[in-house]
Amino acid sequence: MALECATKAKLPRRVRIDTADGGARRQDSVFNGLKETSPSAELVLIHDAARPFPERSALVQVCQRAAEVGGAILACRVRDTIKKEAGARAGRMPAVQIIETTVPRAGLWQAQTPQVFRRELILECFENLAASAPDKEMTDDAAILEYFGKPVALVESSSMNFKVTQPEDLAIAEALLKAGIVS
């Protein structure tokens, strides 16, 4: 399977693809994958594959920043006005959503993937999380470094590296590919 993926992606022979079993949560799957990486690897790129359009120049830059800082992620500045609803509780939708406040967007970024880390650092943080707070749920890998007070650099990326999760996202992605806007 890994060889088939590498062939389809036209990856250079020097690129090695290994697989790992998934886990109950995204972070468990990533941890399993990290444990399968080569100890000689300096950096690991964690990519959810739901963002198929990262720009090559941004990939180079995020790798450079991760090598310097320890971790770096692709992200784009928040452009929309963000509203926080009043009385929001996990898993509960009130009959009518009421705005509590407008969240200032200055300094807000939308996280993207891939997220890149020094292998030893991210593996150490995952191991520490598993030992100290195994039930703590993290929505992305950078959050694990943040949890342990480790810096993570932001690398500005294009909004074209959007997340394909809904049918309309797939239609947009297909139209962009067909028009040659992304590759």
pLDDT, tens only, 41-82: 999 999 988 999 999 999 999 999 999 999 999 999 999 999
Query: 2-74+111-179 falls under which CATH superfamily?
Result: Spore Coat Polysaccharide Biosynthesis Protein SpsA; Chain A (3.90.550.10)
Domain range summary for the chain, segments of one domain joined by +: 2-74+111-179
pLDDT class for 4, splitting at 50, 70, 90?
Answer: confident
Sign of the alpha-carbon torsion through 149, 161, 166, 4: negative
Most confidently predicted of 4-8, 73-77, 81-85: 73-77
Q: How far is CA 10 from CA 3, 108, 117, in A?
A: 10, 36, 24
Tokens matching residue 109: 């970024």
**Alpha helices (H) along the chain:** 2-8, 26-36, 56-69, 119-132, 142-147, 167-179
Percent of the chain with pLDDT over 70: 92
